[in-house]
Structures are given as C-alpha cells and as structure tokens.
Chain A
Amino acid sequence: AQSVSQHNHHVILSEAASLELGCNYSYGGTVNLFWYVQYPGQHLQLLLKYFSGDPLVKGIKGFEAEFIKSKFSFNLRKPSVQWSDTAEYFCAIRGGGADGLTFGKGTHLIIQP
C-alpha cells in the first residue's frame, strides 16, 4: 500500500518569506509525484509533477519541488510567497500500475500581507 505524509497541516507566513512544504511518501517501487493547489472557493489544480529525469521540477506561479529518492521526499518550495498563494496544498503519488492518486492530508497555507 502507498501513503503520503504532509508534515504541516497549517503554515502561516508573511509576504516575501520563503516557503517549503514537506511531503514524504511510502511506496517501494517507481512513483509519479504531484503537487495540487486549491485556492479558496476553487477546484483543485495541478501545480507541478515529477515522472522521471531531473529531480528538480518547476511548476506554475514560481513553485518548484525536488524529488529526493533516498529520502522518499518531494518537498514544495517557493523563494518568495505572495498573499495570493494562500491556499490548500496537496501532495499526491501514483505508484505502480494504478491510475488512481493517493493524496496527503493537505497543508493549509496562509500568507499575511
């Protein structure tokens, strides 16, 4: 069975602060990794994804994530957050031959102006 752990349920930062949201997964085989974002009142959107190749992936809106296989981690980063980044962020994995994604519990990010 596969699982995803997001370390922080709530994060509060000031504008221009740097962001790192932790994500660890449990699965023994090859995985695909995703970060989704849900802005208030909106549907879930894909931020970025990792399938193979360069472990540092860049997504929309200045976000990036680094896949560290030895640590089973896929942390999300942004050098300087904006008030508009206030949202809920979900890490997800797809392991093996399954089409379905397994999601973490989410991190609620609040950016204070």
Chain B
Amino acid sequence: DVKVTQSSRYLVKRTGEKVFLECVQDMDHENMFWYRQDPGLGLRLIYFSYDVKMKEKGDIPEGYSVSREKKERFSLILESASTNQTSMYLCASQERGRFGYTFGSGTRLTVV
C-alpha cells in the first residue's frame, strides 16, 4: 500500500513564525498536493506539484509556498503564520495518469 506520511499530527505555532509542514510518500508518485480542510468549507487546494522542482498554485495559495526538491517529499511553508491559517492540512499523492489520491493523516495546525 502507498503510504503518505505527514511528519506532525499536531502543531502549535505563534503568529509570525515560519512554519514547515512535511509530507513524504513512498511509491514514487509524480503528483503531490496540499489541501487545507476547514469545517463547512471542505477541502481547498493550496498548491500541487507535478514533478521535482515543479509547482502550481491551487485555489488558495496566498500566504503559502511549497518546495519539492526530491520526488518523495513535498513541503508546505507558511512564511509568516497567521491565526486564519489555523486548520487541518492534508497532503495527498497520486500516480500520474491514475485518478485516485492517497491521503496522509493530516496535520492539525493551530496558530496562536
């Protein structure tokens, strides 16, 4: 089974801090995605990546950046965390040409 591992299950950060959320997948998938999940808003796409060093903005990229230096790792960066970025962050992996995602367990980030 494909595994998508998010390094932290829970994080608490202060306003203004730079925050790194890490995601690693073990099946050599080309595509990786970062979503945030909020009650009543569902999943919203922040960024995605088709390959190493390639990235595309999703629907809500403001306040975020990403890094994909290695195929298996896709990092989400909050340059200066704000309270409205308190959310559940989900990473997903997908084999190119296939249709389903494999999701990680999520990182619940609280910005105080």
Please, how many residues of chain B have a CB less than 8 angstroms from a CB on the other chain? 23
B14 contacts partner chain A, Cβ-Cβ < 8 Å: no
A interface with B by C-beta (< 8 Å): 6, 9, 32, 34, 42-46, 49, 51, 90, 92, 94, 99-106
Which residue of A is nearest B33, CB measured? A100
A92 to B99, CA, bound (A): 11
Chain A residues closer than 8 Å to B50, beta-carbon distance: 99
Q: Which chain B residue lies CB-closest to A42?
A: B105
A100–B71 alpha-carbon span in the complex (Å): 17
**Is B42 in contact with A94, judged by CB distance below 8 angstroms?**
no
Q: CA separation between A94 and B101, bound complex, in Å?
A: 11
Partner of A104, one of B42, B45, B99, B100: B42
Q: Which residue of A lies closest to B50 (CB)?
A: A99
Contact between chains at A34 and B103 (CB < 8 Å): no
Interface of B is mostly: strand
Contacts of A99 in B (CB 8 A): 31, 48, 50, 94, 96
Contact B45 A100 (CB under 8 A): yes
| Contact call A101/B101, Cβ cutoff below 8 A | yes
Least CB distance, A69 to chain B, in whole angstroms? 18
| Chain B residues positioned under 8 Å from A102 (CB to CB) | 45
Closest to B48 in A: A100
Contact A51 B99 (CB under 8 A): yes
Interface positions, chain B 59-112, Cβ under 8 Å from A, are: 90, 92, 94, 96, 99-101, 103-106
Residues from chain B with a CB closer than 8 A to the CB of A46 are 100-101
Roughly how many angstroms separate A60 CA and B42 CA in the complex, as a whole number? Answer: 22
Distance (whole angstroms) from the CB of A80 to the closest CB of chain B = 27
Q: Within the complex, which residue of A34, A44, A94, A100 is in contact with B90, where a contact is CB–CB below 8 Å?
A: A44
Chain B residues near A106: list those with CB within 8 A. 40, 42-43
Query: Could you tell me the distance between the alpha carbons of A44 and B104 in the complex, rounded to whole angstroms?
Result: 8
CB of B99 within 8 A of CB of A49, answer yes
Q: How far is the CA of A106 from the CA of B106 in the complex (A)?
A: 16
Q: Given A49, A100, A103, A105, which contacts B100 in the complex, CB threshold below 8 Å? A: A49
